[in-house]
Structure 1
Amino acid sequence: MSKVCTIIAVALSCLVVVALAVPPLNFNNDVTMYFGNHLGQVQDNGNTMALNLDQQTGSGFNTKNEYIFGRFDMQLKLMKGFSAGTVTTFYLTSPIGQAHDEVDFEFLGNATFQPFTVHTNVFSEGKGNREQQFHLWFDPTAEFHTYTILWNSQRIIWMVDNIPIRVFENQESIGVPFPKTKPQRIFCSLWEASAWATQGGNVKVDWSRAPFTAHYKNFVVDACVITNGASSCANNKNKQPWQTYTLDADAKAKLENVQKKNMIYNYCTDTKRFAQGLPPECKPAQEHPSA
């Protein structure tokens, strides 16, 4: 709070913060380990979770609740040093199957002093292959940074420290499936992917450096909860900001800057991979017939 605020202003501001703030989930109460139970360590009275990977197995947790649309914020600190062959994740998914939906943040381990690669993807009706990858512009092992997935009926936005790095728009009007009907849980995990994670699988996990550890904290979920098949937002007359969020001019400029300077792979430019033609959402709007 600014020192120039009056006592009344401070009091009013505090009331607003209390009224609007969404408390973090508690790792003791709101999530459950789904593999590697003994390698998940809840710390700081439930505010922090440490996931570990050893030569036997990795570890992971997921939310007990399911959600349909929302804003999901996680502070994450990746492991220091040589982490090649490992993958640290923060993602949404419906039950895995032929037609599942999924929205991914995956952090690919690196050789010492190499930049970390952030891998993003989106699946709808079981169709993925929509990868974009970025190099982070900071050291994600030095301190915690906030990673956000904002998902509403119009678009999905991936953010790093509130800076948008990717947007996937709802383009059902041109036949592109969009995840909007299947409830999803949030999953986080740390696991081995030596076959592909680092430099295309050329650099493997060095088990002499195990166990590997990633830390998660301040897990904030502002979303529509699914209970007995019904959404908590079904009769929501006062919509939350994320429900209608779109990028303003400043956010669009930041997005363009990150994509220009930090993007290292974009499926929408991979003409070798899509030799028969790029996916429809990759084409300029003027190439699409009127909806």
Structure 2
Amino acid sequence: MGLFCNGFSLFVVVCSMAVAAASGSFYQDFDLTWGDRRAKIFNGGQLLSLSLDKVSGSGFQSKKEYLFGCLLKDQHMTRSTFEFLGNLSGDPYILHTNVFTQGKGNREQQFYLWFDPTRNFHTYSIIWKPQHIIFLVDNIPIRVFKNAESIGVPFPKSQPMRIYSSLWNADDWATRGGLVKTDWTKAPFTAYYRNFRASACTWSYGASSCGCPVFQRFL
């Protein structure tokens, strides 16, 4: 199938993910941005879901902007993205990563997951520092994008960013180059999120307030 969950995950029927135990409230930290009631916050703000049907997908974004930080959940941050591509039954799920800066991406890398992300919640994290960006799955680093501005490679370091997630149909390219199409008889497709946590530098009124004493072993 060719569904696509931008920044978080895309699954055949259910897209399920999570992070560490301590978490905030989705009511407090996020806005539902599109989808005409396909995006929902429930369980007292501890769970959020996105749904996709043949008419529309859905999405949300963080209320705050960040400039560097350590963010944990199924997330899209600093225009660095986790993207889950649809698969054929029994094939490994592909985790697609990218880093955007100065309006351009073209820094894709893909990884085969060692588990089926539709069966349980998993932790997807990004650590964004002036020196590098680290992508982690279940606290295991899978990619390091180093700051190589000294040799002319742009690096995101001055523009504050929000966290975004969306669930939408991309069967024109996401699964085997668009060869596998979405089976709409299985719709609606639903992604679940829980346990958001950010130890990050919050951007407000043109300045950043920061405290990020986490994941020291990866710094």
- The structure having more radius of gyration, on CA atoms, is 1
The aligned residue for residue 91 of structure 1 is 76
Instruction: Give the C-alpha shift of residue 60 in structure 1.
Output: 0.5
The DSSP-based 3-state class of the residue aligned with 2:37 is: helix
The aligned residue for residue 159 of structure 1 is 136
Please say if residues 22 and 221 of structure 1, whose CA atoms lie closer than 8 Å, have aligned partners that are also in contact.
no
Q: Deviations over 1:88-131 (max 9, x none)?
A: xx3124xxxxxxxx101001122222211100000111121111
Distance in 1, Cα, partners of 2:198 & 2:36: 23
Q: Which has the higher strand share?
A: 2
Please say if residues 107 and 119 of structure 1, whose CA atoms lie closer than 8 Å, have aligned partners that are also in contact.
yes
Q: TM-score, normalised by structure 1?
A: 0.65
Distance in 2, Cα, partners of 1:197 & 1:217: 25
Please say if residues 32 and 40 of structure 2, whose CA atoms lie closer than 8 Å, have aligned partners that are also in contact.
no
Please say if residues 70 and 214 of structure 2, whose CA atoms lie closer than 8 Å, have aligned partners that are also in contact.
no
Post-superposition, which runs of at least 4 consecutive aligned residues in structure 1 deviate over 4 A?
Answer: none
The aligned residue for residue 240 of structure 1 is 213
The aligned residue for residue 177 of structure 2 is 200
Instruction: Give the C-alpha shift of residue 43 in structure 1.
Output: 2.3
Q: Deviations over 1:8-65 (max 9, x none)?
A: xxxxxxxxxxxxx994231122101111040012122111111100011000000000
Please say if residues 97 and 110 of structure 2, whose CA atoms lie closer than 8 Å, have aligned partners that are also in contact.
yes
Q: TM-score, normalised by structure 2?
A: 0.86
Distance in 1, Cα, partners of 2:108 & 2:48: 27
The aligned residue for residue 80 of structure 1 is none
Q: Which has the higher helix share?
A: 1
The aligned residue for residue 92 of structure 2 is 115
Identity score, percent: 52
Note the aligned Cα RMSD (angstroms).
1.8
The aligned residue for residue 83 of structure 2 is 106
Q: Where does the alignment leave 5 or more consecutive residues of structure 2 unmatched?
A: 1-19
The DSSP-based 3-state class of the residue aligned with 1:144 is: coil
Please say if residues 34 and 60 of structure 2, whose CA atoms lie closer than 8 Å, have aligned partners that are also in contact.
yes
- How many residue pairs are counted as aligned between the two chains? 200
